[in-house]
Structure 1
Amino acid sequence: MRSRAFISAASSFRFSGARIRRASPWIGGSCQFPRRQFSYPRDLEAASAKPFYITTPIFYVNAAPHVGHLFTIILCDILKRWQQLKGNKAILCTGTDEHGLKVQRAAEKAGIDPKLFCDKGAAIFKELAQKADITNDHFVRTTDREHKDAVEYAWCLLKEKGYIYTAKHEGWYSVTDEAFYPQSAVQLYLDPPTGRKMMTSIETGSEVEWSSEKNYHFRLSAFREPLLEFYQANPGWISPEYRMNDVIQAVEDGLEDLSISRPSDRLNWGIRVPGDDSQTIYVWLDALMNYATKAGYPWSPGTDHAGGWPADCHVIGKDIMRFHCIYWPAFLMALKLPLPKHILTHGHWTLGGSKMSKSTGRVVDPFQALDRFSSDVMRYFLARDGRLHTDSSYDNTRIISIYNKVLLGALGNLSTRVLRGKKWSVRGAVERAGNLPIQEWEEGPCSTFYHNTLSTMPAAVESGLDSNNPRMALRHMEASIHSANRFFQMSSPWDKALTFAPGVPGEHVDKIVYCAAEALRMVGILLQPFMPHKAKMLLDQLGVRESRRSFEYCQVGCDLEYGEPMISLGRGHEGALFPPLSSDE
């Protein structure tokens, strides 16, 4: 989905005075800016060129990451790399959410200073991103000075515009979810192992406790109609579609004003409300601003697009939709900032039928999985089996099965048979068959594979990735790989190669080898966002130049200069693209 220009809030900013609690190089004082009418567009077409900007949610540091976190950052990285493959500048932001009562209590339990606790947690998530070959441009921490300044700035603007007021707030509060719930959203629950009765959130199952306190509120109720108007104008804003319908229903049912601060004597680990040290800013208002922070908010006039804002895609788990699809756009509307172009939601990963959760201990250690299977294999598995519409099940035996049947048995098998063939030369086949006129492919034994597989695969994969669905894209690639194997086996070039002219097996064999090599070349190009190391190895084996590995060259006959391997093809398992796993257990 593309986005039309929103009126830039930056152009209306006038920095003046010095009333804000803490000075910074760029924060103005009183936030007394000229008011401008801000109309929300009926569509989201881009106004000007800007980097593609994609974000993960920022992850809590109160416990170690699990494979669900790995899935989210890999999904984002694939979509970022895809944009780069098409020649577009792309920016990926990830990071850690380090404020809130949950983190405060975890640090207290660990007996260490909250900042030191957060430093250790952030380092673990950074290590995970590096180990999974994530090409993030930013790693935001909500304890960063620039983030604190941006949050304080946004608070000041919201207050100046009249969207923040003080009131007594009562309700059921979940420390785990960092959220209040109305009476209609909680239930009495009997914990089977302990027999303890407790109140829990119906939505998340997290325990809640009654809270009554005076704090600041955001006039969320004022944005019911603007939000519904925006949803109607942009029906594909949230995917999958049925989750968009859930959000619309929730807003249509009515919005209550949102408590956006907590008493500092209860929550001291966070950003203080500017001018009122007795209150700490609500963690979700704090956390959501990270997306704009790393895009350079608040922007100097004319530079709002330089950092990528508005975001092209927020990738989130289905359990945090309310915050990203209702609260976040309302905050942005109040700040007169452009809304993100798309919210991509995905299901959870389950283990033994239950959702993976740090709080319950039902997790798969992503570091162990990466060590065992490699980053490329884990990236492929998670992208292939990770579902957007429903939850996905993690199983080591499933990874092994996919590796053996698809990667080793199909793609690896095809590359070995084509590249190591002794009766033909890939380079010779490319030179001789690659220059044949299109009429030569209209009939004959190679014509069906040429037109039905080679000519259609790039567009099918492009469609999947452009719709933010790597799983669909991989399915198209796999279908093409299996089709190429069947074609090569049924064509049996080893039986048709002529022997009277060494290196010249005949036109029929040249066409067979060329078609199979083209399948490998295009799959190698398209696999780069998914398996960067293995894709590079395959393209090196084929001898594809670095300058010819972009999507621009992913069409039949677009590159006729490959065929001489850049690396050793090896023998047996040595040098094979996908050698057998060391253990199938």
Structure 2
Amino acid sequence: MLSYGLRSLHRPRASRSVLGALRSRPQPRWSSRCCYATAAQEASKLDYPSASKPYYVTTPIFYVNGAPHIGHLYTMILADVLKRWHQLKGSEAFLSTGTDEHGMKIQQAALRHEIEPKQLCDQNAAEFKRLAASGGISDDVFIRTTEAKHYAAVETFWRKMKSDITPHLGLYKGKHSGWYSVEDECFYPEKLVDSTIVPQTGQKIVVSAETGSKVEWVEEETWFFPLTKYRDMLLEFFDNNPTWIEPASKMGEVRDWVEHNLEDLSVTRPYQRLNWGIQDPDDPSQTIYVWVDALVNYLTITGYGASWDSPDAADKGMWPSDVHVVGKDIIRFHAVYWPAMLLALGLPMPKKILCHNHWTMSGRKMSKSIGNVVDPFDAVQRWGDDPLRYFLMRNGSLHRDTDYSNDLVHTVYTKELQANLGNAYYRVARPKGKTAWSTRSAVDAYCDGVFETHRHLNDKARPELHFTALDESLSRVSQDFAGLMDKHDIPSAIRGVTDLLTELNRFLSDTEPWHISKRAMSGDENATVMLNWVIFKACEALRIACILLQPIMPSKTARILDELKVPLEHRTLEWARPGLERNYGLTQAEIQALRRPDQYDTIFPPIAATEAKKPRSNSRDATLKHFAKRS
């Protein structure tokens, strides 16, 4: 691990050696006209000819000045679901996440704790790694901006911004004055700050009108990126790619910012004021702006600065990314600053920016000072990683802030996971008592064509039953789910599967296979066919629902598919069609060998809603004590 003192920040030797090798090669230079035209041409189409590469999805790298919160976990899970979705479709996919470890906030936090910045970063980066593990995140790389390979990438990017672009489009040095927020690590225009009073102290301060963060007036000499020169190019790009940012409302906000608030961007801070960061390799009096440093991480992961560094490189690794997943508070950095810098260097743009809203509690923004922040580790411990993933993906939104509470999670848990998916599973795969059946026999009956000889399946004693009630839902659920997932409408996709499971439970209640089973056991051949028909249709609904829900709940769905003996290689979207899988299910002996579980051993065991609620009866009290003891 790298080690830096608070007052002395040295570049790692590895980055120097890499950069030395890069400097020894001839560097491409473009005229202003050539660079601008090439970038504009690429920006207009977002259709880059490149070798086949994995679907590359990124989370933001998370700032390590504080502990992780539920919003961090939500972002990780959202990106993880997208990765797993593409794997479900049969594609190779790659997920990156990590930590942003430079900047004024880190420097000040380290001073408050009287430790070196690197020590603070090591401690908090470990917490974000633990968060990814606890949330079941299948990240392929966890990048830290204090790594040597990232230094090399940033310094390569920085030198090209200085030397490979003509002066009026590249970096220039000047004096900057403006309102600066340490919390947001950015400057704000005069019209986007307001005066306010701190309620606790009565102190008058100036804050950002957007975020409410305190700002202070700063005057300093820095390097600038001429962002205003890229205004027309950005607007042209937005016009040619109207769905580049999702949802559309965020694209509207970004366009408005570019049209009305664009200013040249100060991309360094004086080293005397900020020494915890990557220094300008040619001007050690300056430290590279933390957001330039941070955004380059998406390139670092692809080998930029090591195996490639030019827009003409035949192999750019996984670049461009297929989607950047970001929160609404950092959309401007990703949708204005980042594309402008990529355009300046003629590099391909990311293919999509997916912007989500925030989580609130009791309708209020989560805040440590208010005390309404949700600890994600506590939430995972309480609900389990898969149920929490399910809730966050079901209730989270790209369009509006969403409220979080234990009662809300409990309602979803009991109604949709326990009473719907869990109930359907145990009704089909673990029948009670002597009214048993075999899921394997039901599948075999289908494979043997038994149902074809009973096309007019009916129960003479109960002619009102509709034994084909599930057919329509089974025929369309996978296609509907895929369409919604490809549109990034994960909540609606989940609801579609939930509706199928609700229909499945209704189908079982209507057909009552436990009654049909008794008649089949007495030798009624028609009842045997009807029983196998009902169980086969129920198995198919359960199998398809669990295949589709794998990106959302990978562990719970794997457990059900395992117990149904669905082959591992047949758990992709291609196999989520009725009647396709012909080799799964348990024999009656295997089912009988699986004991009916105690309620606390079920796939979704009972969990108390809120500790504040008093038990309504002695039995309830005993239940809670039993659960607490087992926990």
TM-score under structure 2 normalisation? 0.85
Aligned to 2:208: 201
Q: Is the 8 A contact 2:59 2:75 kept in 1?
A: yes
Query: Which of residues 41, 44, 53 is equivalent to 1:42?
Result: 44
**Cα distance in 1, alignment partners of residues 456 and 52 from structure 2:** 41
Instruction: Please report the RMSD computed on the Cα atoms of aligned residues, expressed in angstroms.
Output: 2.4
| Matched AA of 1:426 | T
Q: Which segment is superposed worse, 503-512 or 325-334?
A: 503-512
Q: C-alpha separation between the residues in 2 aligned to 1:325 and 1:442?
A: 59
Aligned to 1:346: 356
- For 2:550 and 2:113, the matched residues in 1 are separated by 41
Aligned with 2:201: secondary structure?
A: coil
Which of 410, 415, 436 is the aligned partner of 1:423?
A: 436
Q: 2-side partners of 1:328 and 1:493: how far apart?
A: 59
1:561 aligns with 2:583: yes
How far did 1:406 drift?
0.7
* Corresponding residue of 2:23: 28
Tell me the secondary structure at the aligned position of residue 262 of structure 2: coil
Structure 2 runs not aligned, ≥5 long: 1-13, 459-464, 612-631
Structure-2 residue corresponding to 1:469: 489
Matches of 1:217 and 1:41 in 2, distance apart? 23
Task: Report the alpha carbon displacement of residue 30 of structure 1 after superposing the two structures with TM.
Answer: 8.5
Deviations 1:455-497 (A, max 9, x none): 1111111112212232221111111111111111112222233
Q: How much has 1:43 moved relative to structure 2?
A: 2.9
CA contact 2:467–2:534 (8 Å) conserved in 1 = no
- Percent identity between the aligned chains? 44
Decide whether aligned partners of structure 1 residues 434 and 252 sit closer, same or farther in structure 2, where only a CA change above 3 A counts: farther
**Contact residue 348 and residue 356 of structure 1 kept, 8 A:** no
For residues 311-335 of structure 1, the C-alpha deviation after alignment (integer angstroms, 9 at most, x for no partner) is 0010000011110000000011111
Q: How many residues align?
A: 566
- Check if 1:384 corresponds to 2:363: no
Q: Do the aligned partners of 2:407 and 2:609 also contact (CA within 8 Å) in 1?
A: no
Give SS of 1:399's match.
helix
> Shift of the alpha carbon at 1:435?
5.1
Larger Rg: 2
Does structure 1 retain, via aligned residues, the 8 Å contact 2:195–2:204? yes
Q: 1:315–1:343: 8 Å Cα contact kept in structure 2?
A: yes
Structure 1 counterpart of 2:565: 543
Residue 15 of structure 1 corresponds to which residue in structure 2? none
Cα distance in 2 between the residues matched to 1:400 and 1:389: 24
CA distance in 1 between partners of 2:510 and 2:315 (Å): 53
> Which residue in 1 is equivalent to 2:134?
131
Task: Tell me if 1:267 matches 2:274.
Answer: yes
State the alpha-carbon separation in 2 of the partners of residues 546 and 370 from structure 1.
27
Residue matched to 1:7:
none
Alignment partner of 2:343 out of 328, 333, 336: 333
SS at match of 1:93: strand
Deviates more, 1:361-370 or 1:317-326: 361-370
SS in 1 for 2:177: strand
Q: Structure 1 residues 346, 440: CA separation in 2 closer, same or farther (over 3 Å shift)? A: farther
1:178-193 superposed matches below 5 A: 178-193=185-200
- How far apart are residue 392 of structure 1 and its match? 1.0
The one-letter code of the counterpart of 2:359 is W
Deviation at 1:419, TM superposition (A): 1.0
User: Contact 1:199 / 1:208 at 8 angstroms: preserved in 2?
Assistant: yes
Shift of 1:305: 5.5
Q: Deviations over 1:495-540 (max 9, x none)?
A: 2332234999422221111111101101111121111111111101
What is the Cα deviation at residue 45 of structure 1? 3.5
In the TM superposition, 1:146-545 aligns within 5 A as 146-160=149-163, 161=165, 162=167, 163-253=170-260, 255-298=262-305, 299-300=307-308, 307-357=317-367, 362-421=372-431, 422-434=435-447, 436=449, 448-497=468-517, 498-501=520-523, 505-545=527-567
Q: Give the secondary-structure state (helix, strand or coil) at the position aligned to 2:22.
A: coil
Distance, in Å, in 1 between the alignment partners of 2:70 and 2:133 is: 15
1:13 paired residue number: none
What SS does the aligned partner of 1:291 have? helix
Distance in 2 (alpha carbons) for counterparts of 1:502 and 1:295: 65
Distance (whole Å) between structure 1 residues aligned to residue 597 and residue 267 of structure 2? 63
1:581 aligned residue: 607
Q: Which has the higher helix share?
A: 2
Structure-1 residue corresponding to 2:626: none
1:101 is displaced (CA, Å) by 0.3
1: distance between equivalents of 2:371 and 2:128? Answer: 18
Q: In 2 relative to 1, CA 281–364 (structure 1 residues): closer, same or farther, beyond 3 Å?
A: same
